Amino acid sequence: MRLSHLNFILVNNSAKSVITNRMRLKFSIKRPLNNYFSISCSNTVFLNFGKVVNNRFFNQNRGYFGMEFRISQNFIFTTGYLNQFLVLNEKQIENNHTLIIGLKHRVAIDNTKK
């Protein structure tokens, strides 16, 4: 388990500005299958805390499952599925399904002087 983000968000209300606090906990695992393929999955939970939470401690959850394919040493093709569960208010919940397709490029930065 790794605490990956701690966000402090300023929410502008027409009557006054309210500062809310949100914490993001991300659990993830990546497993190489061979030299070219790997699979990964993660779960991210967003939690509210502070004086203005108003019984909405749980904010959202993101579940991800994906694959990576190494094209070359510097390029990796990724694809995956993301399920995002959001609590918008006491009466409204949203569940989003997203297909993610990406291309990662590794850039080597050499700081040594020759």
- State the Cα–Cα distance between residues 43 and 24, nearest whole angstrom: 10
Structure tokens at 59: 């904010």
In tens digits, the chain (114 residues) has pLDDT values of: 444 445 555 554 455 555 567 788 888 999 999 999 999 999 988 887 766 666 667 778 999 999 999 999 899 999 999 999 987 777 888 899 999 999 999 887 876 665
Closest CA to 64 of 32, 96, 106: 96
**Model pTM?**
0.70
Predicted pLDDT at 45? 87
pLDDT score recorded for residue 112: 67
Residue-level pLDDT at 58: 76
Give CA–CA dist 65/111, Å, rounded.
36
